[in-house]
Structure 1
Amino acid sequence: MFFVDTLEFAGLGNRSYLAGGRAAAVVIDPPRDIDRVLAAAARRGVRIAYVAETHVHNDYVTGGLELARISGARYLVPAEAAVSFARTPVADGDTVAVDEGLVLRAVATPGHTPHHTSYVLEEAGRGITAFTGGSLLIGTVGRPDLVEPRLTEQLARAQYASAHRLAEELDDEVAVLPTHGFGSFCSSAQAEGDTTTIGAERRNNAAFTQDVDTFVAELLAGLEDVPAYYTHMAPANAAGPAPVDLTPPEPADAEQLARRLAAGEWVVDLRNRVAFAAGHLAGSFNFEGEGKLATYLAWLIPWGKPVTLLAETPEQVADAQRELARVGIDRPAAAATGAPESWVRDGEELRSFPRAGFADLAAVPADERKDLVVLDVRRDSERAAAYIEGSVHVPIHELRERLQEVPPGVVWVHCAGGMRAAIAASLLDAAGRDVVAVDDAFDAAAAAGLPLTHPGTAGQGRADHAG
């Protein structure tokens, strides 16, 4: 009898897995904060015998090395991965006995990286589950452009071949359990649904429904921008990440917050965008703790810049600290909690800015419209589907370094749903601009009667990242 427990990490759009039998288990692609994995194993009453990486990850810092050290497990890493620590190298066809009657078999599936390896859990010699990492995902595949630009097409073709190899070797009912595809930018597209099988992928995945040349051409054409922090993840994982420290950060009072802001450090307000707009510390930035905090903060911040966190409760700070540690932002410089009025010095006031919908923008009189700027912070692929006529386009991940390109006037900033507009509004507000945050779904722009331009329908972007 076997089990598979899924550990979801929605903020990064990834999953890890604990799989095993009555006494022992294997962990696939563990997160940096390994306490969640240890707790899952304790609930099952199993020993972690193996920790397995499908590849050297580009989008998060692994906890695999530390988990193997603490649990005494053997650390399985693809043999061709260049790493700087002791591990058990695995090559195509290698097997390990996880528990009585349960065997884990390595299957070379290059494409996401040259060394990418999937793992098939077999019971009594029959494949039952495939842990496919960044290879075969739900309705798509992992992106092939994160290693080296000159290898991208070659790896895209390898992805196609790897998907077909899995389908040829495994029965249709074998469950496919990928690491990426639930919002991660390591996926070439958003996963369609939560679960899948080899048979379902045969019917629905472009890797099987298209010829290789069409598949490669469309895959490469649809690739999104790569988050800037990715450049730091693979080197950290190859070197062997240090244990994570989740002890509470130093508390900060209003004077210390002012000093940190004056020093050019980042003070990040984790509250929801409605509360932030109503009143916030001047110079702070709004990255909602309930949104894609790690992805967008790590993408926008100058790497290594100290971060101080603001939140209503210590629990919100702790959740954010855990999320940020997964992408290598290990220790907040400080934190403050409570009411935002306590974050400003005596005699100073909170800043605020208005929120609006697209109907409010449409209602602005024509003679006043010339004095405002409509700023679209969606990605290129989203704007390619439709945009408001006359709007200025600066993708959110480029805004910090392109603030000077935003024309003068009151800036009405929008995205696809409100989350990224809130981040952008806070950046503009901190720079001293008058801003209105459009907290509305982009579909409402047409309903409000705003004139739209439709360049085409190709490459409309992934809904999981549109906020």
Structure 2
Amino acid sequence: MKITSVPIQELGNNAYLLAVPEAGEVVAIDPPRDIDLLMEAIEATGLRLSWTLETHVHNDFVSGCRELVAVSGAKLGASAEADLHYPWERLQDGQELVIGPYRLRVLATPGHTPEHVSYLLIDESGNPMTLFSGGSLMVGTAARPDLLGPADSWRLASELRRSLQDKLLKLPDQVQVLPTHAGGSFCATGTGGEPSTTIGKERSGNPLALVADDTEFAAIALAQKPYPLYFDRMRSLNQLGAPLIGRHLPKPNRLNVDEFETWLARGAAILDLRPGHAVLRGHLPNSYAVGVDGSHSSWVGWLISPERPLLLVSDDQTQESESVLQLARIGYDRIVGVLDGGVDAWVAAKRPLRHFGGSKARELEQRLRAGERVIVVDVRESYEWFGGHVPGSVNLPLHEVTHGADGLPRGPELAVHCGHLYRGVLGASLLEQLGYDHLTVIEDGFDGWAKLHDRAGVAR
């Protein structure tokens, strides 16, 4: 028996393959929509995919279960309460799936979502070995219970406490815990950086394991960061079933400048996939600086409607392929093309480029000391700003820029920054779309400011 983890890094998630040679079978758990790597791994075992299982109806990515069923004929298993609109095996609490000498026991663990289940792997001697916990138990925390809206949050928080404390943490100490959601997932705050844990570690060290009162538990479980807007449609998309895309993702059409501009006239959005430093050197007007070197899909899903056509600008086809992959994982399929030749082709066609000023924290400090009128705009989250910020800076979290920039003056220069560079460049690109044209990006961000002052001169 072998368990393989398949990371979905930009979303902070893991899928799993459970291979049991004695049974000639493989089981997939919480697979992403892009299945080629999974199928390669399955084919390398020489075994048959018998089940593809969901721990819950996902809010953060498009499930790949239907894709795997379509190419392999495997059975799709999920909670009987999942309310899927396509065929699935309705799994009940306590039900066991026999995989050769092993069994997978279904455990109803509502809380993160109402229909959530976990899968407990039991060996041939009847000993619990591994818990595939989805979001019901994570390293140092559990997944948030607020994704269905405020009306259900308190009830789900209470259910989460019971699932965690009365069921999962009653398992033996040595049981390995393999969560789907991990560090970097918007589905939880406070998870550790380790990909796995044990019941014993979580029973003694997980803050949620130590709180017996529903109100206190909910106060912890509901203290979460904002999440991308695309989450609001993902649950229903997974219940209805996203369009099947097949084993291999499509390659975007290559468009010349005239074709590219035709789509612009139809309302398409430009995604600049290049790193921030390249964007500073020159970019197409009104593009979104969402490089694939950062949280690309999350920010596209936060800022742009899934119905809007998308145009890509890149340095190379590797960036394009990564964008197509990440966007497919969140159900953004309307990529109408990529600018053939990139920025160089745009310039050769005598089309205009826009530029942001680039500056370092030391230069910003010198200008502020000299009394220059520069408005410092910090696009980090509020909790980051309260942890330390440039004195006099305006905190405008990145996801609020489009609707919250009205109070910024249009005359003075705006010096935009985040922790380092990625969100700062994206923030500047959003402000450019709102008509601000005197923009500078602080390339080393607040990290540079804090190092410059050794945290002295940092307002709190």
Task: Give TM-score, length-normalised by structure 1.
Answer: 0.91
Does the 8 A contact of 1:142 with 1:187 survive in 2?
yes
Alpha-carbon offset, residue 59 of structure 1:
0.7
Distance 2:326 2:108 in 1: 31
SS in 1 for 2:367: coil
Q: Is the 8 A contact 1:293 1:320 kept in 2?
A: yes
Per-residue deviation, 1:166: 4.2
- Equivalence for 1:150: 151
- What does residue 353 of structure 1 align with? 356
Task: Return the alpha-carbon distance in structure 2 between the equivalents of residues 231 and 168 of structure 1.
Answer: 31
1:219 aligned partner: 221
Structure 1: gaps of 5 or more residues: 455-467
1:328 has 2:331 as partner: yes
Pair 1:82 & 2:83 matched: yes
With 382-391 and 19-28 compared, the bigger mean Cα shift is at 382-391
**Could you say if the C-alpha distance between residues 357 and 195 of structure 1 is closer, same or farther in structure 2, counting changes exceeding 3 Å?**
farther
State the secondary structure of the residue aligned to 2:16: strand
Query: Which of 377, 380, 402 lines up with 2:379 in the alignment?
Result: 377
- Give the letter aligned to residue 404 of structure 2: R
Amino acid at match of 1:137: M
By how many angstroms is 1:404 displaced?
3.3
2:107 aligns to what? 107
The count of residues paired between Structure 1 and Structure 2 equals: 450
1:444 aligns with 2:445: no
| Candidates 297, 301, 316, aligned match of 2:319 | 316
1:26-45 equivalences in 2 (<5 Å): 26-45=27-46
TM-score (norm 2): 0.93
Q: Distance in 2 between matches of 1:233 and 1:397?
A: 18
Structure 1 segment 404-415 matched on structure 2, within 5 A: 404-408=406-410, 409-415=412-418
Shift of 1:158: 1.7
Return the offset for 1:339. 4.7
- Per-residue displacement from partner, 1:374-429 (whole Å, max 9, x unpaired)? 11111222223233232222211121233433222111111122211111122223
- Which of 259, 271, 274 aligns to 2:262? It is 259
Contact 1:53–1:76 (8 Å) recurs in 2 = yes
Q: 1:114-144 CA distances to partner (integer Å, 9 max, x unpaired)?
A: 1110001111121111011011001111000
- Aligned match of 1:464: none
> What amino acid is the match of 1:421?
G
Matches of 2:149 and 2:382 in 1, distance apart?
Answer: 22
Query: Given that residues 183 and 191 in structure 2 are in contact (C-alpha distance below 8 angstroms), is that contact kept between their aligned partners in structure 1?
Result: yes
RMSD, aligned α-carbons:
1.9
Shift of residue 75, structure 1, vs aligned partner:
0.7
Match of 1:53?
A: 54
CA contact (8 A) 2:308 2:334 kept: no
Matching residue's letter, 2:381? R
Query: Could you tell me how far apart the structure 2 residues matched to 1:299 and 1:433 are?
Result: 23
Show the counterpart of 1:419: 422
The equivalences for 1:170-185 within 5 A come to 170-185=171-186
Q: 2:250 aligns to what SS in structure 1?
A: coil
Larger mean Cα displacement after TM superposition, 354-363 or 19-28: 354-363
Could you tell me how far apart the structure 2 residues matched to 1:382 and 1:226 are? Answer: 16
Q: Structure 1 pair 337/4, CA: closer, same or farther in 2 (3 Å)?
A: farther
Task: Check whether the contact 2:61–2:234 (CA below 8 A) recurs between aligned residues.
Answer: yes
Q: Deviations over 1:168-211 (max 9, x none)?
A: 44221111111112211111333332221111111221122333
Matched to 1:195, the amino acid is S
Is residue 266–residue 308 contact of structure 1 (8 Å, CA) maintained in 2?
yes
Distance 1:435 1:190 in 2: 36
Q: Distance in 2 between matches of 1:162 and 1:357?
A: 49
Once the 2 structures are TM-superposed, how far is the Cα of residue 279 of structure 1 from its aligned partner?
1.8
Residues 255 and 192 of structure 1: is their aligned pair in 2 closer, same or farther, counting only changes over 3 Å?
A: same
